[in-house]
Structure 1
Amino acid sequence: MLQEFKDHIATKLSFLEGSKLLIACSGGLDSVVLTKLCHLLKLQFGLAHCNFGLRGEESDEDEQFVIHLANEFKSPIYRTSFDTENYAQKHQQSIQMAARELRYSWFKELEITHQYDYIFTAHHADDNLETFLINLSRGTGIEGLMGIPEVNDTFVRPLLPFTRDALLEFAKKNKLQWREDSSNKSTKYLRNKLRIDVIPDLKSITPQFLQNFNTTLSYIKQSNEFIKSQTSYLKKELFETVDNETIQVSINRLNTYENPKASLYFLLKEYNFTAWGDIEHMLTAQSGKQIFSGTHRLVKDREYLLIRPVTERRTDRTYSIREEERMLMIPSGTLKFKEVEGILDIDLKTIYVDKEKLKYPLIVRKWKEGDYFYPLGMRGKKKLSKFFKDEKLSLLAKERIWLLCSGDDIVWIINYRADNRFKIIPQTKQVLKITIS
Structure 2
Amino acid sequence: MEANFPHLLQEPFLLACSGGVDSMVLLDLCARLDLDFAVAHCNFQLRGEESNADEKLVADVVSKQGRLFLVTHFDTKEYVSKNKLSLQVGARRLRYGWFDALMEEKGISTLVTAHHADDSLETFLINLSRGTGIDGLTGIPEKTEKVSRPLLRFSRQDILKYATETGLQWREDASNADTKYLRNKIRHEIVPLLKELNPAFLENFKSTQKYLSQTADIVNKRVIYLKRRLFILKEGVTRISVPELLALDPLEGYLHAMFKAYGFNETKDLLQLLHSTSGKELCSNTHRLVRDRGHLLLAPIDPVDPGEYRIDENQSKVSQPVSMTIEEVEKIGETGPHILYVDKETLKYPLTVRKWRKGDYFYPFGMQGRKKLSKYFKDEKIDILTKEKQWLLCSAEQLVWVIGRRPDDRFKVGEKTRGIVKITLNK
TM-score (norm: length of structure 1):
0.79
Residue ranges of structure 2 left out of the alignment (5+ in a row): none
| SS class of match (2:214) | helix
Q: Which moved more, 1:295-304 or 1:307-316?
A: 307-316
- CA deviations 1:164-221 (Å, max 9, x no partner) are 2222333444454533222222112111111112111222222221112111211221
CA contact (8 A) 2:110 2:146 kept: yes
Q: Which residue of 2 aligns with 1:80?
A: 71
User: Is 2:377 the counterpart of 1:388?
Assistant: yes
Output the CA distance in 2 between the equivalents of 1:140 and 1:252.
27
Output the CA distance in 2 between the equivalents of 1:112 and 1:319.
38
Q: Which residue of 1 aligns with 2:231?
A: 239
Match of 2:158 among 139, 156, 166: 166
Output the CA distance in 2 between the equivalents of 1:276 and 1:217.
25
Q: Which residue of 2 aligns with 1:311?
A: 302
- CA deviations 1:246-266 (Å, max 9, x no partner) are 222222333333334433433
Match of 1:130 among 122, 127, 132: 122
Output the CA distance in 2 between the equivalents of 1:294 and 1:78.
38
CA contact (8 A) 2:340 2:424 kept: no
Deviation at 1:294, TM superposition (A): 3.2
The amino acid that maps onto 1:386 is K
Structure 1 residues 38 and 301: alpha-carbon distance in aligned structure 2, compared to 1, 3 A threshold: same
CA contact (8 A) 2:12 2:108 kept: yes
Query: How does 1:163-202 map onto structure 2 within 5 Å?
Result: 163-202=155-194
Structure 1 residues 400 and 60: alpha-carbon distance in aligned structure 2, compared to 1, 3 A threshold: closer
| SS class of match (1:282) | helix
Q: Which residue of 1 aligns with 2:321?
A: 331
- Larger Rg: 1 or 2? 1
Structure 1 residues 402 and 206: alpha-carbon distance in aligned structure 2, compared to 1, 3 A threshold: same
Output the CA distance in 2 between the equivalents of 1:187 and 1:418.
69
User: Is 2:312 the counterpart of 1:283?
Assistant: no
Deviation at 1:315, TM superposition (A): 8.1
| SS class of match (1:17) | helix
| SS class of match (1:222) | helix
Deviation at 1:242, TM superposition (A): 1.6
Output the CA distance in 2 between the equivalents of 1:378 and 1:68.
82
Match of 1:224 among 181, 195, 216: 216
The amino acid that maps onto 2:372 is K
Output the CA distance in 2 between the equivalents of 1:188 and 1:248.
47
The amino acid that maps onto 1:312 is P
Query: How does 1:10-409 map onto structure 2 within 5 Å?
Result: 10-17=2-9, 23-38=15-30, 47-67=39-59, 69-70=61-62, 74-76=65-67, 78=69, 80=71, 82=73, 83-107=75-99, 119-243=111-235, 245-314=236-305, 316-317=307-308, 319=310, 329=318, 331-334=321-324, 336=326, 338=328, 347-349=336-338, 358=346, 360=348, 364=352, 365-403=354-392
Deviation at 1:124, TM superposition (A): 1.4
Residue ranges of structure 1 left out of the alignment (5+ in a row): 1-8
Structure 1 residues 133 and 380: alpha-carbon distance in aligned structure 2, compared to 1, 3 A threshold: same
CA contact (8 A) 1:51 1:81 kept: yes
Output the CA distance in 2 between the equivalents of 1:252 and 1:289.
17
| SS class of match (2:180) | coil
Superposition CA RMSD, Å = 3.8
Structure 1 residues 253 and 91: alpha-carbon distance in aligned structure 2, compared to 1, 3 A threshold: same
Output the CA distance in 2 between the equivalents of 1:393 and 1:346.
23
Query: How does 1:413-424 map onto structure 2 within 5 Å?
Result: 413-419=402-408
- CA deviations 1:229-285 (Å, max 9, x no partner) are 112211221222222x22222223333333344334333333344454433322222
CA contact (8 A) 2:142 2:152 kept: yes
Deviation at 1:126, TM superposition (A): 0.9
Structure 1 residues 157 and 75: alpha-carbon distance in aligned structure 2, compared to 1, 3 A threshold: farther
Q: Which residue of 2 aligns with 1:3?
A: none
Percent identity of paired positions between Structure 1 and Structure 2: 42
Q: Which moved more, 1:141-150 or 1:20-29?
A: 20-29
CA contact (8 A) 1:350 1:434 kept: yes
